[in-house]
Amino acid sequence: MRSIAKYFSGLFIGISSLLKGMSVTWRELWTKKVTQQYPENRDTLVISDRFRCELVMPHDENNEHACTACGICQMNCPNGTIVVTSQMIETEDGKKKKILDTHQWDLGMCTFCNLCVITCPSDAIKFENTYENAVFTRSKLVQKINHEGSKLREKKKEVKPVEAKPVVEAKPVVEKKAVEEVKPEEPKAE
């Protein structure tokens, strides 16, 4: 008796689910169709602000960015998409400072997880919702996101780069013989 009741309840659930699906199909059959005429509609196309497509490093009005070349984004990227290279420079007041040389990001590798952005302590990077990034070769997907002409780089040119310390020359070993050849002083006459 219990198995018959189970059979009919399953049948009822199946039929109600089918009718629900069919009602959606029937409704959509009569709704107005919308076809996006891309790329003709580029100017009017609305892309959500939250859509992540391109990692950028914003530069302020003085063409400076906030990146300190700490490398945290690179460390937190799960698939090695970011490569940060830095340089040590000596500032005008004689202090050593690490500055960003290259912040390289590979669009072809990125999974757009946003971990790099949320872990950056300086809020130096963010995702833009630009969507037309198709290229013909994969190598073009690798991008340097810090600007070449940034003021920080100009500053870098002004200051003296830290030079590598010269290797201390090894002193020639003085042969014992030569030291011993020094004449002993003669005793003074009293």
In the complex with ligand SF4, the residue whose CB is nearer, 13 or 75, is 75
Distant-in-sequence, close-in-space partners of 129: CB < 8 Å, separation ≥ 6: 47, 48, 49, 50, 51, 52, 53, 54
98 CB-near residues (< 8 Å, 6+ apart): 68, 69, 86, 87, 88, 89
143 binds ligand SF4 (CB under 6 A): no
Does 116 bind ligand SF4 (CB under 6 A)? Our answer is yes
CB distance 129 to 51 below 8 Å: yes
Does 83 contact ligand SF4 by CB under 6 A?
no
Q: How many CB atoms neighbour CB 29 within 10 A?
A: 7
Q: Is 118 in the site for ligand SF4 (CB under 6 A)?
A: no
By CB under 6 A, is residue 111 in contact with ligand SF4? yes
Instruction: State residue 84 phi and psi, 5-degree precision.
Output: -110, 125
By CB under 6 A, residue 110 contacts ligand SF4: yes
Distances from the Cα of 117 to the Cαs of 19, 125, 127, 178, 190, in angstroms? Answer: 46, 6, 8, 68, 91
| Binding of ligand SF4 by 115 (CB under 6 A) | yes
Give the shortest CB-3-to-ligand SF4 separation in angstroms: 52
DSSP reduced 3-state for 41? coil
7-15, 17-25, 65-73, 176-184 -> range binding ligand SF4 (CB under 6 A)? 65-73
The single residue among 87, 102, 104, 114 that binds ligand SF4, judged by CB under 6 A, is 114
Number of neighbours of residue 75 by Cβ within 10 angstroms: 11
| Residue 84 found at the interface with ligand SF4 (CB under 6 A) | yes
- Which residues does 115 contact at the CB level (< 8 Å), separation at least 6? 76, 77, 78
Task: Candidates 5, 29, 89, 122: give the one binding ligand SF4 (CB under 6 A).
Answer: 122
Q: How far is the CB of 84 from ligand SF4 (least distance, A)?
A: 5
Instruction: Note whether 145 binds ligand SF4 by CB under 6 A.
Output: no
List residues binding ligand SF4 (CB under 6 A).
67-73, 76-79, 81-82, 84, 105, 110-116, 120, 122, 124-125
